[in-house]
């Protein structure tokens, strides 16, 4: 279990480095990301969200738990609009437009090439997590009015300025929407 970094932490705005060594340390990172994501609970978690600037994320969508390293995405032209949240911006969700489908090429923690194809929630998750690896947050993807509302809500959030959320509800109301 690792602490999830919150909006305002500079690591969330850094561009993560590609993984070069597919070693035991990487497998520990993937395990820790998975455990932390499931405990939150969340639908996805990227390494920068636990303070590690590497191109690694995990996902938990429709009962499938997995991970991807050094992702490269191809997006469909067709889009979807839906509620999106982020474990680094706890308790807040906003309508966010994303590509409907994605083909994500990358590697497993053992260094084997892998391709993940997804639509709807899985596609949204993969786009959200890959954004994290580039220092991009979902609030950056909102239309201008929604983004203004989101920034106001973040400023007023009780966790703003804290290093980690003090209170966790169970069951967590964000389940299925927090990435
Ligand atoms: Ni997120």
Is residue 167 assigned to a domain?
no
Q: Are strands 56-61 and 89-99 parallel, antiparallel or unpaired?
A: unpaired
Closest CA to 27 of 16, 35, 15: 35
pLDDT, one tens digit per residue, over 19-56 is 999 999 999 999 999 999 999 999 999 999 999 999 99
Residue with tokens 């990227």: 46
Q: Please tell me the distance between residue 168's alpha carbon and the centre of ligand 1 in angstroms.
A: 17
Q: Please tell me the distance between residue 23's alpha carbon and the centre of ligand 1 in angstroms.
A: 25
Is residue 26 assigned to a domain?
yes
pLDDT, one tens digit per residue, over 55-67 is 999 999 999 999 9
* Token duo for residue 58: 């995990």
Outline where 134-173 has alpha helix (H).
Answer: 144-156
- Residue 171: per-residue pLDDT: 43
Of 120, 129, 156, 169, which residue is the catalytic one? 129
- Residue 1: per-residue pLDDT: 85
Mean pLDDT of the chain, nearest integer: 93
| Average of per-residue pLDDT across 103-122 | 98
Q: Please tell me the distance between residue 175's alpha carbon and the centre of ligand 1 in angstroms.
A: 13
Residue 5: pLDDT band (50, 70, 90) is very high
Residue 162: pLDDT band (50, 70, 90) is confident
Q: Please tell me the distance between residue 137's alpha carbon and the centre of ligand 1 in angstroms.
A: 7
pLDDT, one tens digit per residue, over 117-129 is 999 999 999 999 9
| Average of per-residue pLDDT across 78-88 | 97
Asked whether the beta carbons of 80 and 98 are under 8 A apart, the reply is yes
- Residue 161: per-residue pLDDT: 79
* Residue 38, domain CATH: 3.90.45.10
Is residue 164 assigned to a domain?
no
Closest CA to 2 of 24, 26, 29: 29
Closest CA to 71 of 11, 15, 127: 127
Domain that holds residue 44: 10-156
Q: Where are the beta strands (DSSP E) in the chain?
A: 44-46, 56-61, 64-75, 79-86, 89-99, 101-107, 113-119
Is residue 178 assigned to a domain?
no
**Residues 6+ positions from 15 with CB-CB distance below 8 Å:** 53, 133, 134, 135
CB atoms within 10 A of CB 175: 14
Query: What pTM was computed for the model?
Result: 0.92
What are 46's strand-pairing partners?
Answer: 57
> Is 169 known to be catalytic?
no
Q: Please tell me the distance between residue 44's alpha carbon and the centre of ligand 1 in angstroms.
A: 7
| Average of per-residue pLDDT across 82-88 | 96
Percent of the chain with pLDDT over 90: 87
Number of domains in the chain: 1
CB atoms within 10 A of CB 153: 16
Is residue 169 assigned to a domain?
no
| Average of per-residue pLDDT across 155-174 | 65
Is residue 93 assigned to a domain?
yes
Is residue 179 assigned to a domain?
no
Is residue 113 assigned to a domain?
yes
């Amino acid at each position: 279990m690792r602490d999830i970094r919150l909006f305002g932490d500079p690591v969330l705005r850094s561009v993560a480095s590609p993984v070069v060594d597919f070693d035991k340390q990487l497998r520990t990172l993937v395990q820790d990301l998975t455990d932390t994501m499931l405990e939150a609970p969340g639908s996805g978690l990227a390494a920068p969200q636990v303070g590690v600037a590497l191109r690694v994320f995990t996902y938990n969508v429709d009962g499938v738990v997995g991970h991807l390293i050094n992702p490269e995405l191809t997006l469909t032209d067709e889009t979807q609009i839906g509620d999106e949240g982020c474990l680094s911006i706890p308790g807040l969700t906003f309508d966010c437009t994303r590509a409907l489908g994605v083909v994500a090429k990358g590697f497993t923690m053992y260094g084997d090439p892998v391709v993940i194809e997804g639509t709807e929630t899985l596609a949204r998750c993969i786009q959200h997590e890959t954004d994290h690896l580039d220092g991009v947050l979902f609030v950056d993807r909102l239309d201008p009015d929604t983004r203004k509302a989101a920034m106001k809500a973040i400023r007023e959030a009780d966790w703003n300025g804290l290093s980690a959320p003090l209170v966790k509800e169970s069951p967590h109301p964000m389940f299925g929407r927090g990435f």
